[in-house]
Structure 1
Amino acid sequence: MTSGDRLFSLMELATFLNHQLHRIAEEVAALNEDVLLSSPERDVCEELEERFRLEPLVLDRDGITAGSVKEGFATVRQFGEELRIRQTVVTILVRFEGELDLFHMRPSTYTNSPPVAATDGDALDGGLEIEWMGPVDHDPQQVRLALDSRLDEIQRWIDWSTAQVVLFNEAATLKIAAEVQARKTRLLANRNLQEALGFPMRERHDAATYSVPIKRKKIVPKRGTASSPFQPEPALADAHYEAALEVLRNQRNALERAPGTSAKMGEEEIRNLLLIGLNSHFEGQAAGEVFNNTGKTDILIRVDDRHIFIGECKIWKGPKTIADTVDQLLGYLTWRDTKAALLLFIRSGAPGDVMAKAVARFREHPNYKRDGRHSTDERHDFVFHANGDASREIKMAFLPFHLPKDPQGS
């Protein structure tokens, strides 16, 4: 594009964005079945979001640089003749971030006089070149005002473009999640149909998960048949995981509201009280033990001698408490979509300060992937990957208990 080309004029931005939304379904449909079934859904969505997300244009008006002032000529007609008038040419380079192509697309809101600038060329490299041409006896202040006016007009068009891009990014995120979930559901239904038909199938390896359902809430692992086309791994369903955490949260609140009682309780007494509360809501069958304690601090659900839910009770003794406990949990939990909870007893210090330090240490762990759904003073969720396998995710809830110890107690 040469100096003086009109911006935002080659195609309609709305047309391009609609085309991109339609492409999402095609991209999801093209994903390999085994990869989709064996990868964490959030990872698949994030990869697609990264591919489709558009970065809005942002001008760096604080980093403007000017080129050398040069001589130029303007051609005018006077009394039927063309005359060349000597002019002064001032050129500035404005860096920008975002998608270069957005400078070529007309937003839905626009005027009939798009701004003029140059956006490519070896000398521009990530910049927008704006040129001013005027009389030789120019006034520097007037030149500056003219250039600022041009920049303001470009910014107005960028704002119109950005409004559409932001809405597109939000719509793309929702569409990606819906398409991935829908296709994953269809694939699992197809695999189950293959199994129900009863015909021998070629052996394949798929890492889908299925849930350990809860009744009163009874925990019972589902079992695949010998002819199952893939081997799903036991996991605690999200609804039951949330139910267990809700029980723990309610017990935490009750303990915090009775400081005179909780202050006199030792670690094991608090843990055993939590176990009693959990087991009053959940029960198991022969296939697996429900909530019990092994060693000194574990609260767990176990299926086939594997832990699919671990709750670790720890007293805060500094940031190293978090690092050590996360390592401990990750050592236990190696099955896909396994759930965990770290119950932190804050017996001294300001709870807000302790929680801030704890959350920071969670995020510093090398297996940390992202924050989870909850992020409040009552509960903070994290997603980690299993040791040695970034595709195997472990959900970990952090529940702080503010239980100051009775200074007169034992």
Structure 2
Amino acid sequence: MYQGSKLKLYREGNLKSVFGNSASQIESQINQKSEDYILNVSEVEFGEFLIQTHIIDFPTLDFENVYVESYEKEIPADRFPGNYDVRSGEIYKRDVIVYHIPYSGNIYILRNQGVSSFSMSGSIDVGVTNDSITTEIINFDSNPEKIKRDFEDCKRFILSDYDTLKKDCARFNNEVLAFAIGKIKERKQKLLSKNNLLSSLGVPLKKKVGVAETFSIPKPELRKKIIIEPKVYEKGFKPEPTLSNENYFEILKIINDVGKNFERMPSTYSGKGEEDLRDHILLTLDPNFEFGSASGETFNKKGKTDILLKYDSDVVFIAECKFWTGKGGYLSTIDQLLGYLTFRNSKTSLIMFVRNKDMSNVISIISEVTETHPNYIRTEKKNGETWWNYIFHINEDRNREISLGILAYHLPE
């Protein structure tokens, strides 16, 4: 009646092998992709896609809702206690109490030994159903207290290495995305280095044709949200000049320092318009931008942007300055900024000047509605009460990520 699958807890395998196999499979999937795919795909989105089948759904055991059943079973004489008058080799019928412990998650992960330790407290075989693990206790004496004690012993073995495995799996889940992204970056860097070497030979590079840029996969049967493999529409890749994250944050810090100065000296900036405030920012940025040029009201793609930094002829930073007019105006300004961007632009900022008396309300609105924008991908971090960093994508190409810094400053009427 209860002869379902069996599971020997904490002894049949080990988590080191489980984690190692996952790492190998992730790296193999990355290496199978075409050069163009790796060079153009969003590292974070591809990484999230790769790890979704490797994240461990660690099982939860529900001892609060344990229930029991019983059935009659033939028990060999050698399993009876010594004080029973039974004949060797014979079998006798006895009632068996079956404890059902409900669970959710991947129960079979509990077959493995932990990474960091090995318990000497023993193991136990349990039965496995669709929604519970089972342990059986033979009712020899019809003694409820003894049966309860026997179950407590079983419970101790069931939980012997449970917390150790839980910590190991949580650590793996927390680190696997960074591992995948790191491997994507590693292969991308190798491809870039190779392409730069070939380009330096001074002869045309022959492009392979007929190579599929994306691959279709069967949909995995998961209860959680499925992450679809990111598509890449590029047919080639050419490295473009770009600000390092360090330089990008230094530029935002300069802008932030100027913005805070607006707040500290309200009488100086009272009544100033967007262009005046923008020019103050430009006057500070330009001498700090050693290897390029900073300009204002410069045409880029679909309009004139307020602040534009160039290296040689390439745009490496774009910012827009606006007075706060409410939630709708804020989202429209993000649309306006995105409209300026080409696929070559990756570092941007939106600088909001707020004349509302209730600055706290404006801060709340920015925090809440930015993530509702259709181009929003993820939140990076918040560097202060009025400085947010987000990752968006440019219009019509989700794989082209941009860094968007939002900075807001309270100005007098």
Q: Confirm or deny a common fold (TM above 0.5).
A: yes
Q: Does 1:116 align with 2:120?
A: no
Retained in 2: the 8 A contact 1:74–1:87?
no
Deviation at 1:342, TM superposition (A): 1.4
Report the 3-state secondary structure (helix = DSSP H, G, I; strand = E; otherwise coil) of the residue aligned with 1:292: strand
Closer/same/farther in 2, CA of residues 337 and 75 from structure 1, 3 Å limit: farther
Amino acid at match of 1:110: S
Matches within 5 A, 1:280-295: 280-282=287-289, 290-293=294-297
Q: Does 1:274 align with 2:278?
A: no
Q: Does 1:183 align with 2:202?
A: no
CA deviations 1:337-385 (Å, max 9, x no partner) are 5221111223224444422321221111122111124454242111112
CA deviations 1:298-325 (Å, max 9, x no partner) are 2223689986532122233332233212
Report the 3-state secondary structure (helix = DSSP H, G, I; strand = E; otherwise coil) of the residue aligned with 2:161: helix
Deviation at 1:42, TM superposition (A): 2.4
Closer/same/farther in 2, CA of residues 204 and 362 from structure 1, 3 Å limit: farther
Retained in 2: the 8 A contact 1:275–1:299?
yes
- The whole-number CA distance in structure 2 between the counterparts of 1:3 and 1:144 is 24
In structure 2, the partner of 1:299 is 307
Normalising by structure 2, report the TM-score. Answer: 0.76
CA deviations 1:188-217 (Å, max 9, x no partner) are 111111111123322479xxxxxxxxxxxx
- The whole-number CA distance in structure 2 between the counterparts of 1:56 and 1:376 is 36
Q: Does 1:243 align with 2:250?
A: yes
Retained in 2: the 8 A contact 1:233–1:335?
no
Match of 1:312 among 316, 320, 330: 320
Retained in 2: the 8 A contact 1:24–1:175?
no
- The whole-number CA distance in structure 2 between the counterparts of 1:126 and 1:362 is 41
User: Number of aligned pairs?
Assistant: 373
In structure 2, the partner of 1:125 is 130
Retained in 2: the 8 A contact 1:61–1:94?
yes
Q: Which runs of 5+ in 2 are unaligned?
A: 210-235
Closer/same/farther in 2, CA of residues 49 and 388 from structure 1, 3 Å limit: same
In structure 1, the partner of 2:219 is none
- The whole-number CA distance in structure 2 between the counterparts of 1:257 and 1:183 is 48
Report the 3-state secondary structure (helix = DSSP H, G, I; strand = E; otherwise coil) of the residue aligned with 1:327: helix
Closer/same/farther in 2, CA of residues 88 and 367 from structure 1, 3 Å limit: same
- The whole-number CA distance in structure 2 between the counterparts of 1:239 and 1:13 is 38
- The whole-number CA distance in structure 2 between the counterparts of 1:2 and 1:236 is 60
Deviation at 1:85, TM superposition (A): 5.3
Retained in 2: the 8 A contact 1:36–1:44?
no
In structure 2, the partner of 1:157 is 161
- The whole-number CA distance in structure 2 between the counterparts of 1:5 and 1:231 is 53
Amino acid at match of 2:347: K
In structure 2, the partner of 1:253 is 260
Retained in 1: the 8 A contact 2:391–2:403?
yes
Closer/same/farther in 2, CA of residues 133 and 34 from structure 1, 3 Å limit: same
Q: Does 1:365 align with 2:370?
A: no
Matches within 5 A, 1:392-407: 392-403=400-411, 405-406=412-413
- The whole-number CA distance in structure 1 between the counterparts of 2:323 and 2:343 is 27
Match of 2:48 among 38, 46, 49: 46
- The whole-number CA distance in structure 2 between the counterparts of 1:4 and 1:101 is 10
In structure 2, the partner of 1:101 is 108
Amino acid at match of 2:190: R
In structure 1, the partner of 2:339 is 331
Closer/same/farther in 2, CA of residues 147 and 343 from structure 1, 3 Å limit: farther
In structure 2, the partner of 1:220 is none
Deviation at 1:275, TM superposition (A): 2.0
Retained in 2: the 8 A contact 1:314–1:321?
no
In structure 2, the partner of 1:29 is 31
Closer/same/farther in 2, CA of residues 73 and 349 from structure 1, 3 Å limit: farther
Deviation at 1:56, TM superposition (A): 2.7
Deviation at 1:67, TM superposition (A): 5.8
In structure 1, the partner of 2:172 is 168
Q: Which moved more, 1:266-275 or 1:193-202?
A: 266-275
Closer/same/farther in 2, CA of residues 112 and 148 from structure 1, 3 Å limit: closer
Matches within 5 A, 1:85-96: 86-96=94-104
Closer/same/farther in 2, CA of residues 264 and 182 from structure 1, 3 Å limit: same
Retained in 2: the 8 A contact 1:373–1:381?
yes
Report the 3-state secondary structure (helix = DSSP H, G, I; strand = E; otherwise coil) of the residue aligned with 1:8: coil
Amino acid at match of 2:133: L
CA deviations 1:10-46 (Å, max 9, x no partner) are 1222233344445554443333211101112223333
Amino acid at match of 1:125: N
Q: Which moved more, 1:237-246 or 1:165-174?
A: 165-174
Q: Which moved more, 1:366-375 or 1:187-196?
A: 366-375
Match of 2:17 among 15, 18, 21: 15
Q: Which runs of 5+ in 1 are unaligned?
A: 206-228
Normalising by structure 1, report the TM-score. Answer: 0.77
Amino acid at match of 2:171: L
Percentage identity across aligned positions? Answer: 26
In structure 1, the partner of 2:213 is none
Report the 3-state secondary structure (helix = DSSP H, G, I; strand = E; otherwise coil) of the residue aligned with 1:391: strand
Retained in 1: the 8 A contact 2:7–2:111?
no
In structure 1, the partner of 2:67 is 66
Closer/same/farther in 2, CA of residues 230 and 21 from structure 1, 3 Å limit: closer
